[in-house]
Amino acid sequence: MIEDIELEALINDVYEYYGFDFGSYSRASLKRRVSRVYVLDGFKHFHEFLSKVRTDPEYYKRMIDEITVNVTEMFRDPSFYQVLRKEILPLLGTKPFIRIWHAGCSTGEEVYSMAILLKEAGLLHKSILYATDINAAVLETAKSGIFPLRMIKDYADNYRDSGGEEDFSNYYIANYGFAKFNEDLAEKMVFSQHNLVSDTSFNEFDLILCRNVLIYFDNNLQKRVVNLFDDSLAVLGFLALGTKETIKYSISQSKYKQFEKEKIWRKIK
């Protein structure tokens, strides 16, 4: 592992040269990720790594891609999607218009999963799905709606476990090892770059999903981001986090009511 002071030097340089602030990321994870690229790319001295990052914007991009974690799936945690399908969407369905924000959407599998749920509930036509991430490259994949075919079997299983009853293969066309999801699913999606560390609220939403993103932030940044969501959520709107994330350490519990045992909270005032 690299040393603590080396990590701090990198954080400072990245901020100074590129304006990106990793200062409030979880140190345990960040240190592991940085040590991993450092070794992977065969550096022997930390100052060489630092100067490469400073002077070579291409390498900086590679490093960022390697240290951020973009792992995602369609219908990740099927029981979560089951609750969305059975309990949350019927509540949102009574509204004339449904605004959803996927914060930290990565390559978009979560957004396409949501579009499928909305379509099956007959709500997609009156919904809009904003999907944002800090990483421009993952957003390009998300826009394309093209995912590796080898994952599709797992996704179809997840889909079924989440209560899906259609033939999953109706939702995509398979071609040369890839599955391209139907264009009508993407019609209501808007992708854009948004940095949860420094950007502000940009709309009011009925449902915000931010799953497996806050785990990479320290307590202070988690607080700031949960408050950003609070500012962006309509009263009676829902905030959904990853299965092991909580708002408990971030915001007054009197404002939010947890939806059964799920990692879904409803804003009650």
Ligand X SMILES: C[S@@+](CC[C@H](N)C(=O)[O-])C[C@H]1O[C@@H](n2cnc3c(N)ncnc32)[C@H](O)[C@@H]1O
CB of 70 to another protein, least distance (A): 9
CB of 246 to another protein, least distance (A): 5
Q: Closest Cα to residue 164, out of 48, 224, 107, 79? A: 79
| Residue 138 lies near ligand X (rule: CB under 6 A) | yes
Q: Closest Cα to residue 76, out of 216, 213, 226? A: 213
**DSSP for 49-93, written as a single string:** HHHHHHH-HHHHHHHHHHHS-----TTSSHHHHHHIIIIIHHHHT
* Interstrand relation of 178-181 and 146-148 (parallel, antiparallel or unpaired): antiparallel
One residue of 49, 75, 83, 106 binding ligand X per CB under 6 A:
106
Query: How many residues interact with another protein (rule CB under 8 A)?
Result: 24
| Residue 76 lies near ligand X (rule: CB under 6 A) | yes
- In which region does residue 106 sit, left (phi positive, over 0), alpha (psi from -120 to 50) or beta (all else)? left
Residue 255 identity (one-letter amino acid): K
E strand or H helix at 123, and its extent?
none
Q: What does 6 bind: ligand X, another protein, none (CB cut-off 5 to 8 Å by kind)?
A: none
Q: What binding mask, one character per residue, do residues 164-203 give for ligand X by CB under 6 A, x or -?
A: -------------------------------xxx------
| Residue 69 lies near ligand X (rule: CB under 6 A) | yes
Q: What does 32 bind: ligand X, another protein, none (CB cut-off 5 to 8 Å by kind)?
A: another protein
| Residue 127 lies near ligand X (rule: CB under 6 A) | no
Q: Closest Cα to residue 151, out of 108, 192, 118? A: 108
Angle ∠(142,147,152) on CA atoms, nearest 5: 135
**Contacting another protein within 180-219 (CB under 8 A):** 212, 214-216, 218-219
| Nearer to ligand X among residue 73 and residue 95 (C-beta) | 73
Task: Give 229's DSSP letter.
Answer: H
| Residue 150 lies near another protein (rule: CB under 8 A) | no
Q: Closest Cα to residue 83, out of 187, 171, 161? A: 161
Query: Taking a C-beta distance cutoff of 8 angstroms, is the pair 257, 265 a contact?
Result: yes
| Nearer to another protein among residue 29 and residue 201 (C-beta) | 29
Distances (CA, A) of 113 to 80, 227, 236: 12, 26, 23
Task: Give 131's DSSP letter.
Answer: E
**Contacting another protein within 48-87 (CB under 8 A):** 69, 71
CB of 210 to ligand X, least distance (A): 7
One residue of 6, 80, 81, 104 binding ligand X per CB under 6 A:
104
CB of 47 to ligand X, least distance (A): 26
| Residue 211 lies near ligand X (rule: CB under 6 A) | yes
Interface residues with another protein (CB under 8 A) are 1, 26-29, 31-33, 69, 71, 212, 214-216, 218-219, 222, 242-246, 248-249
Interface residues with ligand X (CB under 6 A) are 68-72, 76, 104-106, 110, 133-135, 138, 195-197, 211-213, 216, 242
